[in-house]
């Protein structure tokens, strides 16, 4: 028993002997971290004396080169040049022939206007550079931190000579960007891509950064020229073609991107995924025609293609989108219904086609007035095998909208409420909350609707939050000073007609409000609603006249910037009054600098003024290079 007890206590003592140093080390780490936080705070506050002391203590404990450099920076800020030189010399005795210290020494001399002596130290650093990639990058970064870009360039060029297996294309390109030597930067990135096409993503990311830093927006054009020249010289490097396609997509030149993608696919194959992705991007950026052409190309490849079914659905969605966004005289509902029917003959009614079923049902109910078939389609789809709970609720959401169309408002409210209960933690829940609040508004329950909208202003979806805020402000501005809510309730009724695509009834209602309440604060809103409906009907001159009333008589009300931008678009795109459109875009920049339309207005103004060239068709990359 005594022996066992002795063994037990020996084990306990050994355990504590191991634990105590570990505990002390943990406490030391905690103390150093706190000290580092304090040093950083002093540095940010420009209290360099205190931060210098702390950084030096941390360096002595950790040996980290970064902390020594921060210590030097503090001394340099304090202009304690003699102390800096002594610290560097002390380090040189410990870290013999460390070229980074000679960079620091050279920088110290340059601060004292001893340029020749500084260059001598920099040259010594270059002479001492070890022949390893890591040391090369470390030395170049030391030069970069002191903005000695030419010496950093020399480091990598020496490294390239001494280490033939290390190209340093990426590193040199970054330095040429700092030097604004764009031609050499382009060449390094293109050489990097030629060396290994897996570098495509890296080159794209780097060029995106360079474009963001470009102050006069000329870099894209210069890069495109350099890239096309490189393709002419080396048409066999397909990664250059992929880079050109990426560039066109960045510029939203979807037509050129598609032409190049198809040409490349015909030349080397395996381009279906890229073309399908291009179609999706174009579709999401109003490139409807290009998306349709991309889907057509994939469909023509036949049913065995990986993207055949997706292309059929995507094309139909784009055609429906075209229909919805065209003016009434260009809509052919019968033709579109035939296209829907033909598409479902190919893709079928299944869980994967639920989103297309929603589009078809909406088209049938709101444009063909076939409410019964639309409702039946949705209900059948909800019971389809494989339909997820989210898909089912999205189908139910459309069914609720159809109930609003049928004037069965309480049934719509019931369905909306069910969807909200089942989707408390996803965007669909907030989307339907907004619909329910709008339905309360349509029904004239303005106070209740505003209370719901005020909650939605905190939605995680920016679009929903903005829509809720806009409608809430609209209700507040047009009811706060009135003794009667009748004008607003009539206006809400007009919006309900608008939701139901019953524009003729909406226009009659708005005319009635204007006649009865000609001095009401709703007047500019009446003009704006009527203008949008007239545009939808293709009556552009009448729409422009109403918008002109807002821009002249209500310029500083909430709709001032909306009306100005919409009028400028009408002038530019529908009425061929380009000089007047340019003037309005310029007015937007000067008068509404905080508007959400400013960026678009600036781009369009520059284009109309001739600063930005209109997109031109680019040559296709064919089997012989550029045709």
For position 483, which CATH number holds?
1.25.40.10
- Look at the alpha carbons of 81, 82, 87, 92 in this order and tell me if their dihedral is positive or negative: positive
Q: Tell me which residue of 494, 486, 554, 496 sits closest to 516, measured CA to CA.
A: 486
Residue 492 lies in a domain: yes
Task: Please check the confidence at residue 624 and state whether its pLDDT lies above 60.
Answer: no
Lowest mean pLDDT among 5-9, 216-220, 287-291, 346-350: 5-9
The set of residues, in sequence order, having a beta carbon less than 8 Å from that of 592 and lying 6+ positions away, is 560, 561, 564, 598
Question: Considering all CA atoms of the chain, what is the largest pairwise distance in Å, rounded to the nearest integer?
Answer: 109
> For the segment 505-555, what is each residue's pLDDT rounded down to a tens digit?
999 999 999 999 888 889 999 999 999 999 999 999 999 999 999 999 998
**Average pLDDT of the segment spanning 105-122:** 92
CB atoms within 10 A of CB 394: 24
Distance separating alpha carbons of residues 149 and 597, to the nearest angstrom: 40
- Between 274 and 87, the more confident residue is 274
Residue 47 falls inside a structural domain: no
The predicted-structure confidence for 136-176, as pLDDT tens digits, reads as follows 999 999 999 999 999 999 999 999 999 989 999 999 999 99
Q: Is residue 386 part of a domain?
A: no
Q: How many domains does the chain have?
A: 1
Residue 610: the pLDDT is: 77
Q: What is the mean pLDDT of the chain?
A: 88
179-229 pLDDT tens trace: 999 999 999 999 999 999 999 999 999 999 999 888 777 898 899 999 999
User: Both tokens of residue 413?
Assistant: 């409210």
CB 433 within 8 A of CB 453: no
Q: Is residue 554 part of a domain?
A: yes
In a domain, 521, yes or no: yes
Helix axes 427-442, 486-499, angle to 10 degrees: 130
Residue 15's pLDDT is 46
**From 31-40, 357-366, 521-530, 557-566, the region with the lowest mean pLDDT:** 31-40
501 conformational bin, left if phi > 0, alpha if psi -120 to 50, beta if neither: left
Do the domain assignments include residue 517? yes
- DSSP-based three-state secondary structure for 625: strand
Tokens coding 480: 């706060």
Residue 611's pLDDT band, with cuts at 50, 70 and 90, is low
- Domain span at residue 504 reads 476-609
Q: Residue 417's beta-bridge partner residues? A: none
pLDDT of residue 482: 56
Q: Is residue 501 part of a domain?
A: yes
Instruction: Please say if the pLDDT value at position 49 is more than 50.
Output: yes
Tokens of residue 199, six digits: 């570098």
- 154 found inside a domain: no
């Amino acid at each position: 028993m005594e022996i066992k007890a002795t063994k037990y206590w020996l084990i306990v003592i050994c355990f504590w002997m191991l634990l105590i140093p570990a505990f002390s080390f943990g406490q030391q780490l905690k103390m150093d971290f706190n000290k580092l936080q304090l040093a950083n705070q002093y540095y940010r506050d420009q209290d360099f004396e205190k931060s210098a002391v702390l950084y030096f203590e941390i360096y002595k404990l950790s040996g980290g080169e970064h902390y020594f450099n921060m210590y030097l920076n503090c001394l340099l800020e304090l202009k304690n040049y003699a102390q800096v030189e002594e610290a560097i010399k002390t380090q040189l005795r410990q870290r013999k022939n460390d070229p980074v210290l000679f960079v620091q020494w050279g920088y110290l001399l340059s601060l004292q206007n001893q340029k020749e002596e500084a260059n001598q130290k920099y040259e010594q650093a270059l002479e001492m550079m070890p022949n390893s990639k890591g040391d090369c990058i470390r030395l170049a970064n030391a030069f970069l931190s002191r903005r000695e870009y030419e010496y950093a360039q020399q480091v990598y060029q020496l490294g390239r000579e001494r280490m033939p297996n290390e190209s340093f294309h990426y590193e040199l390109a970054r330095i040429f960007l700092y030097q604004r030597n764009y031609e050499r930067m382009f060449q390094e990135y293109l050489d990097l891509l030629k060396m290994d096409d897996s570098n495509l993503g890296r080159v794209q990311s780097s060029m995106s950064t360079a474009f963001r830093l470009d102050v006069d927006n000329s870099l894209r054009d210069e890069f495109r020229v350099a890239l096309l020249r490189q393709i002419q010289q080396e048409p066999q490097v397909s990664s250059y073609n992929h880079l050109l396609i990426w560039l066109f997509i960045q510029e939203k030149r979807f037509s050129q991107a598609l032409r190049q993608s198809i040409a490349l696919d015909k030349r080397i194959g395996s381009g279906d995924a890229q073309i399908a992705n291009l179609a999706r991007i174009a579709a999401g950026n109003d490139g409807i025609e290009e998306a349709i052409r991309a889907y057509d190309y994939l469909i023509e490849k036949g049913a065995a293609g990986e993207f055949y079914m997706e292309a059929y659905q995507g094309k139909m969605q784009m055609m429906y989108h075209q229909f919805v966004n065209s003016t009434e005289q260009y809509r052919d509902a019968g033709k579109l219904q035939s296209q829907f029917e033909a598409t479902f003959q190919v893709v079928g009614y299944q869980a994967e086609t639920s989103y297309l079923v929603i589009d078809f049902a909406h088209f049938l109910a709101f444009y063909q007035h076939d409410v019964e078939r639309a409702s039946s389609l949705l209900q059948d789809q909800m019971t389809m095998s494989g339909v997820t709970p989210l898909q089912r609720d999205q189908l139910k959401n459309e069914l609720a909208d159809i109930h609003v169309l049928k004037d069965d408002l309480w049934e719509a409210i019931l369905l909306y409420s069910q969807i909200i209960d089942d989707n408390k933690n996803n965007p669909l829940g907030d989307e339907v909350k907004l619909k329910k609040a709008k339905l309360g508004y349509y029904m004239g329950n303005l106070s209740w609707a505003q209370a719901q909208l005020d909650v939605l202003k905190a939605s995680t979806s920016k679009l929903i939050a903005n829509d809720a805020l806009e409608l809430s402000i609209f209700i507040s501005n047009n009811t706060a000073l009135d003794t009667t809510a009748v004008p607003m309730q009539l206006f809400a009724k007009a919006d309900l007609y608008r939701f139901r695509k019953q524009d003729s009834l909406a226009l009659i209602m708005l005319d009635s409000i204007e006649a009865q309440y000609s001095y009401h604060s709703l007047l500019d809103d009446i003009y704006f609603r009527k203008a949008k409906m007239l545009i939808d009907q293709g009556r552009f001159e009448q729409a422009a006249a109403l918008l002109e009333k807002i821009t002249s008589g209500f310029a500083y009300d909430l709709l001032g910037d909306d009306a100005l931008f919409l009028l400028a678009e009408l002038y530019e795109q529908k009425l061929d009054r380009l000089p007047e459109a340019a003037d309005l875009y310029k007015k937007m920049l000067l008068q509404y600098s905080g508007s959400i339309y400013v960026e678009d207005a600036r781009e369009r103004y520059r284009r109309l003024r001739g600063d930005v060239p209109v997109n031109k068709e680019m040559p296709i990359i064919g089997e012989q290079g550029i045709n």
